[in-house]
Amino acid sequence: MPKISVHGIDLYYETRGQGEPLVLLHNGLGCTRSFTQQVDELSKHFAVVAYDRHGYGRSAHTVTLAKNWLDTSVDELSRLLDRLEIKNAHLCGVCVGGAIALQFAARCPERVRTVIAAGTCCYGEEGMASKALELYPLPEDLPRDWARELQGCHGSTYWRELYAVFHQAIREENGYPFKGFDLRPILPSVRVPVMVIYGDRDRLFDIEQAVTMHKLLERSDLCILPNCGHLPNEEKPKDFNREILGFIRRYQT
């Protein structure tokens, strides 16, 4: 398994294809496996890099959620690009992966060519925890197929610890995407082209979040996928791949 030490932490990563680098950033309970339906197609056009963030998948495990997790994740991405000798890249993030990509683009614009932010929270709202608890049940109430998916992604025992930490963060309304989380102040400083992708049936984030993000970004496209929920890369992979390919091609050098 390819791993690389980033600031003393072993991160699992995969690379495929040739061309301009395209880095995939997974969602909150995801891992590199979350992009199974993207890698084959996208690697025909780009040098695709997918990695498991610290605490996820086959990267080093952790059972804590740091309060400065977003800053830490942005720094982790920067150091990973350094280790892989990638000067700049297209970034495609889903949910929290999109928030990391946008923060990175605001801080390091010279290292980013384009951003795709899919199903990404723009700002925390009242009632977000209730929505999240409806989507993410208690560990003992998880459907078997979902438990198997988490086990395959994070390991036969560790997935339970990770899910418990994730669920506790929801109950405590800690960090993304709850009250206090807000991308609006940094979005006007993102100068690179951004595509905002949302499913029209996202049960976690209202479409108004996508519209707000689109309005605040200087150079952005807004794509609403019909009959699609929170994770468009998994639920509508063909449409998702087609849209981001068309978008990035407009800005390829």
Query: What pLDDT, on a 0 to 100 scale, did the predictor assign at position 140?
Result: 86
> What is the CATH number for 33?
3.40.50.1820
Closest CA to 210 of 218, 222, 220: 222
CB 6 within 8 A of CB 76: yes
**Among candidate residues 183, 172, 191, 180, the one with its CA nearest the CA of residue 95:** 183
Average pLDDT, the chain: 94
CA 225, distance to chain mean position in Å, is: 17
Statement: residue 242 has pLDDT above 80:
yes
Mean pLDDT of 15-31: 97
* Domain contains 167: no
Number of domains observed in the structure of the chain: 1
Query: What value does the mean pLDDT take over residues 168-178?
Result: 88
Phi-psi label, residue 119: left if phi above 0, alpha if psi -120 to 50, beta otherwise: left
Residue 180: pLDDT band (50, 70, 90) is: confident
Q: What residue numbers bound the domain in which 22 lies?
A: 3-123+182-249
User: How many CB atoms sit inside 10 A of residue 32's CB?
Assistant: 22
156-165 pLDDT tens trace: 999 999 999 8
Task: Determine the pLDDT at residue 1.
Answer: 61
Task: Give a yes or no: residue 229 inside a domain.
Answer: yes
| Beta strand pairing call for 47-51 and 89-94 | unpaired
**Whole-number pLDDT of residue 111:** 98
Residue 97 belongs to a domain: yes
Question: Looking at the domain assignment, is residue 216 inside a domain?
Answer: yes
130 assigned to some structural domain: no
**168-181 mean pLDDT:** 88
Does 169 score more than 80 pLDDT? yes
What is the four-CA torsion angle of 111, 53, 223, 246, rounded to 10 degrees?
A: 60
